[in-house]
Structure 1
Amino acid sequence: MTAPPPVTEPVIVGADAGACTQDALALAHWAARTLGTTLIVAVVHPAPSALGSGRVDAEWIADRRAAAERVLATARETLGDPPDVEYRVVASSSAAHGLHDLAEQRKAALLVVGSTASAPVSRLLPGSTADRLLAGSVCPVAVAPSGMAEPPGTAGRIGVAYVDTPDGRAALESAARLARRTGSPLLLVTVVARGDAALPFMLGADAERAFLDTARETYEEALRKAAEAVPGVTVEWELRSGDVVETLAELTEVDVLFCGSRGYGPARRVLLGGVSARLLRRARRPLVVVPRA
C-alpha cells in the first residue's frame, strides 16, 4: 500500500495554567507524531484594549504576557522539549478568538484543547474556550478527556459515530486519513434509539416493529456501503441500540472517536448539533469533531 502523503499543516494545542492542559498536550503530541507534522503550543493572553488606561493597562498586559510565557515553559518541560514543536504567545480579545485566528493563519490540521477542570476523571466536559472553538472552527477540534485513563494507541481502533449525512461522511473521511497512517482498523457505529425515542407518536405495536425493522435495515445498508467505500483501511461496523449519546460515550474500545458537527451551518466550519454537543460532556475517549464538507 502506498504511504499516505506527508501532512504539512500543523497540530495546534491551546495551553493554560489549568490541570487539564496536560491531557491536551498528551493528545496533541500523539496526534502530531502520528501525522508526522509540527506541533504548535499556543497560549493566549489579553491584547491591549483600545480604551486602555495608559500605564496601568500596559503593566497588566505585560504581567499577563509574562504569565503566558510561564505556561509555555511548563508545557516545554511537560513535553520534554522535543523537536518539531513551536511555542507561541498570542495576543487576542479571548482565548477562543486567538486560537481561531492562529488555526486559520497556519491552516491547522487539528486544534486540540483540554476538558474543564471540573470534569470527572476520564470524562469530557469542555469549558468556555472549547465551547466557543467548537462553534465555528475551520479545522477539526479534538477535546481530551480529563485524566485520560489510557493514552491513544492502547485500544488499537479508531471510532466513527457514523450516519449517512454530509457531516457523518466528513467524519469518516477524516478518521480514515488517520487510520491509514496508524494502520489501525476503523469501527463505524450507528446507534438506533430504543422504543418510543425513535418512533413517531402513536404508531401502534405492529407499525412500531415494522418501523424499527426498516430503520435497522436502512442503517445496516448505509454502514455496509460506507465500509466498502474506504480504501486501504480495515473497516468494522456495528449497529447498536440504546440512548445515542450514552452508547457512543461508552465506546472505550476505541483510541479516539470522530463525529460530525451537524448537517447544516457554514460549510467547512464546526457547528455543533444536539448529539455532538451532548457527547462532548459524556465521552470517555478523546473526541474529534469534524467540520462538514
Structure 2
Amino acid sequence: MPIRIPDALPATDLLAQENIFVMTEYRAMHQDIRPLRVVLLNLMPTKVATETQILRRLSNTPLQVEITLLRMASHAAKNVSEQHLDTFYRTFEQIEHEHFDGMIITGAPVERLEFEDVDYWPELCQIMEWGATHVHSTLHICWGAQAGMFFHYGIQKHELEQKMSGVFRHRRIVDKVTTPLLRGFDDMFWAPHSRYTEVRTADIEAHPKLDLLAVSEEAGAYLAKSSDDRNIFVFGHPEYDRYTLGNEYERDVAKGMFPQVPKHYYPNDDPAQPPYSFWRAHAQLLYTNWLNYYVYQTTPYDVRLAGGKEDRAL
C-alpha cells in the first residue's frame, strides 16, 4: 500500500526518485475504495493446488479482493471432481456480461501443442478478446503468457531442446527499473520455471507495444508487459510452492520420462534431500505490485467501466 504524506514534504520527491509509491494528499482525499473483482481462469489440471497457490499470493495484501473462478466449458477436466467445478467455478457464458478489475490466466501443460490444436483454444481466444473490453488488467502466467503473446501480438513460441525446469536467477532490465511492477525488486532475484517452450527475448524487444522487464541468462524471458500496462506476462511460475517442482519431477520419473533434475532446486542437486525455497518473497512482491499498481490504483471506481472506452481513456 502507498504511504500518504504532505505534498510539500521534501521526502515526497526523494521517495518518488527512489521508485517508492507516495500518495499525495489530494489523491488520497479523492480516492474511493471498493473490493476489487478478479477473475481467475484456471487452466491447470491440478485446479485445487493452483487456485490455492494463487489465492495465497492475492490474499497477502491489505486489499479486499473478490475472486471469481473460471473454467473452460469446452474442456473436460480430469483431475478435479465435477462437484468442485460445479460448486466453485463458473463458465464464460455465465460471466461474459460482467466486468472485472483484473484477470489471471494460468499456465497449462499443453505447450508442445500448436495453439490451434489445443481443444479449448477457440474459447480461450474468445475470453482474451472479451478481456480487452471487460477487464482492466490481465496477468498471464507461463503457457498463458505464451498464448497471450501469440493472440495479442502474433509472437510465436519455440520448443526447447529439453524441459526448462528449476529455479533460476533473473535480473531486472536496467532501463526498466522504475517500472511499478518492479518496485522493491532486488537487482537479482530467483523464480521457478517449468516448461517445454519459450518466447524469445529478441521477439519481445522487437515489438513496439511490448516492454521486456526481467530476464534470466539460463531461462530467458521472465517478465514483460504491454506499453499500455493492460497485459502483464510472466513466463515462469512464481506462485509455485516449495514442493511443486519436486512433485512434477517425481511424476515424470514415475511415467518413465527420464526427466532432468530441476536446476538449483535440491541441495547438491540431490532429489533425496528436501528442496530449497528462496523465491517466495519476490513472488509475493510481483503479485502485490500487479494488484496494487496495475489494478487498484488505476481501475475505474465503477467496475462496469473496466476495460471499456472510458477506462481506456483514463
Q: Normalising TM by the smaller chain, what interval?
A: 0.3 to 0.5
TM (normalized to structure 2)?
A: 0.34
TM (normalized to structure 1)?
A: 0.36
Larger strand share, 1 or 2 = 2
